[in-house]
Amino acid sequence: MVKLGLTATLLLGAGYATAAAIESHFGSHWSRRDIMRARDEGLRLIKTSEEDPGVWLTEEEKFEKFISKKIGFMDITETPELENLRVNRVTSDLVALKAFPTGPTHQSVATPLIAQASISNLRTWANALANFYNRYYRGSYASTSATWMYDTVVDVASSNSAITVTKYTHSYNQPSVIAKIPGTSGSVVIVSAHYDSIGSTTSGRAPGADDNASGVVVILEALRVLADSGYSPKNTLEFHFYSGEEGGMLGSRDVMQAYVTAGVDVLAVVNQDMTGYSPNNVIAVYTDYVDTPLTNYVMTLVPVYSDLPLSVDECGYGCSDHASANSAGFPAAYVCDENMADSSPYIHSSSDTIATLSFEHILQHVKFTIGFLVEGSYF
C-alpha cells in the first residue's frame, strides 16, 4: 500500500479516455501508461474523506481495511470525472443552492396514494432478497440477485406502460436498475436504495435484511403504488436500485457521473439505506454530505407523511449512495431508520435477518417516500 499525492492518485485511477482531462486540471508527470498499468493490475483508489488523497489497494485489502471494519469510504477508481467535478465545485465561488418549498403543499394528491401502500408486499420482497445467500457485487450471487431485482422492478412497473425499466451495467457483474415514470418538464426527481449486501467475509452469508433489503422494498412499493394509480407527474420520477454500494458507492457513482455527462437536470435525490430497525421508532434524516435546503425540506415532510417523529444525525464520509449525488452537484438527502448510536448492530453479518425488521416501521418509510415523490413531481 502506497499513499500518493492528490495529482498522482487521481491520475492513476483514470483511464486513457479521462487522463487528459484530469491532467489539464491538476497537471502531472504521470504517463498514461502508468495510469493504465495501475488499473490493469487490479488496484483500486480508495478515499476515506474529501481531504484524503487516497490510497491504492487490492480488492482484498479494500475489504480487510474498510468494509470489514465498517469504515466509510468511496472507490473512485472508475469515476475520476466525478471526483474532479466535486473538487471544482468545492473550490468555486459560484455554487448556487437550489431553493425548495417551505413545506408540503400537495397532501390532497398524496394522501389517497399513501392509503394504497401494502405491508404484505414489503414482506414478500424482503424475504426474497434475504433468501439469497448474499448479494455481494463481486460474488457468486451477484448476477442472480441482479436478475431478481430487474425482473421484480419490471413486474411492479408493468401496470403502467409509460414506465421504462433499464439496466445500467458496470465493470462488475451486477447492474443497477432504473425505473422512470416520464414527466412533461424534462427535469428529474430520484429516490434510491442499494440492493447489494456484504457479510463478515466476501463469500459469507449476508441476508442484508436491514442493509438494505428494507430500503429496496420501500422504493419498490412506492413505485408500485404510483404505477398502479397511473400517476402522471410534471417532473420525471426515477427509482434507482443501485448495485455495488458496499464496494464504495460503485453503482451510484457510475450513474451520477453519467447523468452529469448527459446534462440531466436532477432536481433532487433522496436515498434510503436501512429502514427496518428502529429501537427509538423514528425516521432519521442525516445532515452531512447532503444538500442543506433539500434536507431541511425533507425534514418538513416526515411529520406530515409519516406517523413517526423526526431524528437528526450525521453519518460521515462514504455513508451511502446520497454521497455520489452530492459529489455530482445534485441536491441530495439521506433518510434512514435510526441515529448512528442506535442503528442495527447486525449489519454486514449473517445476523442481519428478516427477524430483526419491523415491517410496520418500513411502511412508514413508504408513506414518506410516496409523499416526497408527489411533492417532488411539482418542484
pLDDT, the chain, mean: 90
Q: Is residue 170 among the annotated active site residues?
A: no
Of 273, 321, 352, 375, which residue is the catalytic one? 273
What's the pTM value of the predicted model, to 2 decimals?
0.91
Looking at the predicted structure, is the pLDDT value of residue 131 above 80? Answer: yes
Q: Is residue 75 among the annotated active site residues?
A: no
Range 16-37 average pLDDT = 44
C-alpha cell at 166: 433499464
Q: What is the pLDDT of residues 262-310, one digit of tens each?
A: 999 999 999 999 999 999 999 999 999 999 999 999 999 999 999 999 9
Q: Where in the chain is the domain with CATH 3.40.630.10?
A: 107-376
CATH for 107-376 is 3.40.630.10
Contact of 260 with 188, CB cutoff 8 Å: no
Residues 6+ away with beta carbon under 8 Å from 258: 168
Q: Is residue 196 among the annotated active site residues?
A: no
pLDDT of residue 22: 37
pLDDT of residue 38: 76
Q: What is the pLDDT of residues 183-217, one digit of tens each?
A: 999 999 999 999 999 999 999 999 999 999 999 99
Q: Is residue 60 among the annotated active site residues?
A: no
Contact of 208 with 257, CB cutoff 8 Å: no
- The residues that bridge with 285 in the sheet, in sequence order, are 312, 335
Q: Is residue 273 among the annotated active site residues?
A: yes
- Positive or negative, the CA dihedral 67, 69, 70, 76 is negative
